């Protein structure tokens, strides 16, 4: 091969690299971290009560014959504020919602609930993220539908928006 052809090799490699980078940036892969727990029994966990007079949440509370939506949230989470009215709507539609507050303070959670509504049947505290890790959750807000036998049937990453209510209700009905 001639010397001139060898000089083109680095240029062609560089152009190929730029083209590959541009392609991946224009169509990035899904960055959601899916839980491997979907389709499996609820992991063993115990989230102590966060507020006086309110029950906490433990794995033994789930799988008692009816489905439940377990919502991981935090008072410091801005998307959780946006999700709050949707959770109230789901509750009005008959969805039983339990919550686990991540790395949160009872005073802040009490204010969050007063400001945004309280659709939660049970409210547990997860100060170091043990329950979150057990579920395979990677952030807040994140919700899981658990069927009446205690099997995680569905995972929703991010805030539930009003346009996603029909999908959530369909998943809820499948878990019955």
pLDDT value at residue 16: 74
If pLDDT is split at 50, 70 and 90, which confidence band does 14 have? confident
pLDDT value at residue 21: 67
Burial class of 107 by CB neighbour count within 10 A (0 to 12, 13 to 18, 19+): exposed
| % of residues, the chain, pLDDT over 90 | 77
Averaged over 25-52, what is the pLDDT?
83
Q: How far is Cα 79 from Cα 99, in angstroms, rounded to an integer? A: 15
pLDDT value at residue 144: 97
Residue 137 has pLDDT above 60, yes or no: yes
If pLDDT is split at 50, 70 and 90, which confidence band does 10 have? confident
pLDDT value at residue 129: 96
pLDDT value at residue 17: 79
pLDDT value at residue 145: 97
If pLDDT is split at 50, 70 and 90, which confidence band does 29 have? low
If pLDDT is split at 50, 70 and 90, which confidence band does 72 have? very high
pLDDT value at residue 3: 72
Residue 31 has pLDDT above 60, yes or no: no
Residue 24 has pLDDT above 70, yes or no: no
């Amino acid at each position: 091969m001639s010397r001139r052809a060898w000089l083109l090799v680095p240029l062609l490699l560089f152009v190929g690299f730029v083209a590959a980078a541009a392609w991946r940036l224009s169509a990035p892969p899904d960055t959601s971290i899916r839980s491997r727990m979907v389709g499996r029994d609820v992991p063993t966990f115990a989230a102590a009560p966060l507020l006086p007079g309110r029950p906490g949440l433990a794995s033994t509370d789930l799988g008692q014959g009816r489905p439940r939506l377990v919502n991981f949230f935090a008072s410091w989470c801005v998307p959780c504020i946006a999700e709050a009215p949707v959770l109230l709507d789901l509750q009005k539609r008959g969805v039983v919602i339990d919550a686990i507050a991540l790395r949160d303070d009872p005073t802040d959670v009490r204010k969050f609930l007063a400001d945004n509504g309280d659709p939660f049947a049970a409210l547990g505290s997860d100060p170091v993220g043990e329950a979150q890790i057990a579920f395979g959750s990677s952030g807040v807000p994140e919700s899981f539908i658990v069927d009446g036998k205690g099997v995680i049937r569905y995972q929703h990453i991010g805030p539930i928006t009003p346009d996603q209510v029909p999908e959530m209700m369909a998943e809820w009905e499948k878990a019955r």
